[in-house]
Amino acid sequence: MDPAQSPRRLLLVLGDQLNADSSLFDDCDPEQDLVWLCEAPLEATHVPSHKARTVLFLSGMRHLRERLLTAGLRVRYLALDAHDHPSIGAALAADLAALAPRQVRVVQPGEYRMQRALQQACAEAGVALRVLEDRHFLCPLPDFDAWAKGRKELRLEHFYRWMRKRHDLLMHDGEPAGGAWNFDKDNRKTFGKRGPGLLPAPLGFAPDAITREVMALVETRFPNAPGGLAHFDWPLTPAQAQAALADFISHRLAAFGPYQDAIWTGEPYLYHARLSAALNLKLLDPRRAIDAAVAAYHAGQAPIASVEGFVRQILGWREYVRGIYWRQMPGYLDVNALHAHAPLPAFYWSADTDYACLADALGQVVARGYGHHIQRLMVTGLFALLLGVEPRQVHAWYLAMFVDAVEWVEAPNTLGMSQFADDGLLASKPYAASGAYIQRMSNCCRRCRYDPKQAVGDTACPFTTLFWDFLARHRARFAQHPRTALMWRNLDRLDPERLAAIRAQASTLRTSLAAA
């Protein structure tokens, strides 16, 4: 293509769209089309993004640039230190004026905010924008809408069964493999007093020259960003993502199901897949992950409880939350059904707390940008729920601090599942629990100066204090609800004087955390 000639199409690739087999490239003509990528400071600052998260996205993009160039495509790559546009929208606006393409194409972005910015830049420049369906996913958005249409409730369980049948996965003659749709009762094991023993260390990837360069850039450009890079070893290419999948299937899948809900101090990964970042950046196709797990089941290498549990997360939850996100945006980020207005405790950014379970879960997030699901839901998320933190602040923290955070998946998990801020659209009841839950599922309480059984006094566990206070605060909303009534009946058994003392302690706690 003559450099002076305007491109036929500008093919926009965003940082979480690193699959070179995406529909964006379907009828790409290197003679006429220009692939366009931009590293923009706003993406690392609109929430104060963890350094590892920023490195992951930028290095992933730079690795993709290499693959595209090798494939013979023409690429315009705006590196962070080579331009001074604050945002992707601003950089695009400047390039639309300079390059005058006839059309801009992009695969459906992972954030409503980004989609709006691209629409606005193209509309202002008078250039047509074509948003393509993202075929990385197994449920196209129109299909999700068709499934949701006319339903009173959009429950994961119904969606998941529909997807299992639709894709004929783990089905035998129309019935679920293993004779049941879920094996939750087998999947709540704890490690007992002796702990998990020697765990298979997940495969990590030492930073290569591209990544090391990005790390130095991120340290220079965003020195005050949260988190550290010392442990950075995430997959950044499709080959590495595939190797990470194979490692999980061989060494951790079999025990994934039973220990899905367990927590152990100092063990960040346990039997979890550690694949979410690779999946969300589209370095790994979810079909490959599902097929590999199903093949392990058929080969007798992993039990149905583990394989079904894993398939449910990817075929079910991952697709479901995406459908919910796009149906509910743009209003979803403002939901606050429980009228929660407390500030997020400052220790969420530093892990500087003497609550042992939070120190462990947060320490891991600060160091690695990762926490496994039950830490996210039943430690960091639970504490924010019980404390009554404003959901928007909780959302900003989760979006900022996890390497796998992209809004379509983060927001429904945070606002819906964890904070019940969407009034039960996603979860049928709030995930509220006292310190006793954490004591049962982990070894954290053994190392803590607080006592999960105490709700009042110097050694009272904050989860336990805030749990009773949460029940009392939300009695009117939940006490009659069939799925939650039991929890609230326990509240009614509490001596009123004791409840008053608990609530006074909760109030003091809230004040001291807000001031910290």
Note the residues at the interface with ligand SF4 (CB under 6 A): 355-357, 435, 438-439, 444-445, 448, 450-452, 461-463
Site string for ligand FAD, 256-295 (x = CB under 6 A): ----------------xxxxx--xx---------------
Smallest distance, Å, CB 184 to ligand FAD?
14
| Beta-carbon contacts of residue 84 (< 8 Å; ≥ 6 apart) | none
| Residue number with CB closer to ligand FAD (108 or 505) | 108
Which of ligand SF4, ligand FAD, none does 438 bind, CB closer than 5 to 8 A by kind? ligand SF4
| Residue number with CB closer to ligand SF4 (325 or 463) | 463
Coil, strand, or helix at residue 12?
Answer: strand
| Residue number with CB closer to ligand FAD (62 or 376) | 376
What is the distance between the alpha carbons of residues 199 and 123, in angstroms, rounded to a whole number? 53
Task: Say whether residue 398 binds ligand FAD (CB under 6 A).
Answer: yes
| Residue number with CB closer to ligand SF4 (276 or 353) | 353
Smallest distance, Å, CB 444 to ligand SF4?
4
Query: Which ranges of 206-237 does DSSP label H, i.e. alpha helix?
Result: 209-221
Smallest distance, Å, CB 461 to ligand SF4?
3
Q: Angle, nearest 10°, between helix axes 304-311 and 286-298?
A: 170
| Residue number with CB closer to ligand FAD (129 or 314) | 314
Chain centroid, CA 91 distance in Å? 27
Say which residue the tokens 């769209």 belong to. 17
Task: Say whether residue 54 binds ligand FAD (CB under 6 A).
Answer: no
* Single residue of 372, 392, 474, 510 touching ligand FAD by CB under 6 A: 372
Site string for ligand FAD, 412-451 (x = CB under 6 A): -xx--xx---------------------------------
What is the distance between the alpha carbons of residues 460 and 473, in angstroms, rounded to a whole number? 19
| Residue number with CB closer to ligand FAD (414 or 464) | 414
Task: Say whether residue 308 binds ligand FAD (CB under 6 A).
Answer: no
Tokens linked to 387: 């404390």
Which of ligand SF4, ligand FAD, none does 439 bind, CB closer than 5 to 8 A by kind? ligand SF4
| Residue number with CB closer to ligand SF4 (436 or 499) | 436
Smallest distance, Å, CB 89 to ligand FAD?
23
Task: Say whether residue 85 binds ligand FAD (CB under 6 A).
Answer: no
Tokens linked to 490: 């326990």
Residue type, 321: V
Which of ligand SF4, ligand FAD, none does 377 bind, CB closer than 5 to 8 A by kind? ligand FAD
Which of ligand FAD, ligand SF4, none does 275 bind, CB closer than 5 to 8 A by kind? ligand FAD
Query: Which ranges of 353-474 does DSSP label H, i.e. alpha helix?
Result: 356-368, 373-375, 381-387, 391-401, 407-411, 435-441, 462-473
| Residue number with CB closer to ligand SF4 (47 or 359) | 359
Would strands 75-78 and 33-38 be described as parallel, antiparallel, or unpaired? parallel
Smallest distance, Å, CB 485 to ligand FAD?
24
Query: In this structure, are residues 205 and 235 in contact, taking their beta carbons and an 8 Å threshold?
Result: yes
Smallest distance, Å, CB 144 to ligand SF4?
37
In a 13 Å sphere around the CA of 182, the CA atoms on its Cβ side amount to 14
Report in angstroms the alpha-carbon separations of 425 from 198, 364, 430, 471, 485: 40, 30, 11, 20, 19
Coil, strand, or helix at residue 75?
Answer: strand
Query: In this structure, are residues 77 and 34 in contact, taking their beta carbons and an 8 Å threshold?
Result: no
| Beta-carbon contacts of residue 513 (< 8 Å; ≥ 6 apart) | 342, 345, 387
What is the distance between the alpha carbons of residues 147 and 248, in angstroms, rounded to a whole number? 32
Task: Say whether residue 404 binds ligand FAD (CB under 6 A).
Answer: yes
| Residue number with CB closer to ligand FAD (101 or 268) | 268
What is the distance between the alpha carbons of residues 409 and 426, in angstroms, rounded to a whole number? 13
Task: Say whether residue 318 binds ligand FAD (CB under 6 A).
Answer: yes
Smallest distance, Å, CB 463 to ligand SF4?
5
Which of ligand FAD, ligand SF4, none does 420 bind, CB closer than 5 to 8 A by kind? none
320-339: burial string, b at 16+ Cβ within 10 Å, e else: bbbbbbbebbeebbebebbe
Altogether, the residues listed in the chain come to a count of 516
Residue 37 sits at φ, ψ, to 5 deg, of -130, 145
| Residue number with CB closer to ligand FAD (10 or 365) | 365
Smallest distance, Å, CB 366 to ligand FAD?
16
Coil, strand, or helix at residue 448?
Answer: coil
Smallest distance, Å, CB 270 to ligand FAD?
9
| Beta-carbon contacts of residue 355 (< 8 Å; ≥ 6 apart) | 383, 448, 450, 462
Smallest distance, Å, CB 362 to ligand SF4?
12
Report in angstroms the alpha-carbon separations of 83 from 16, 32, 97, 210: 21, 24, 16, 19
> Which residues bind to ligand FAD, rule: CB under 6 A?
272-276, 279-280, 310, 313-314, 317-318, 321, 372-373, 376-377, 381, 398, 402, 404-405, 409-410, 413-414, 417-418
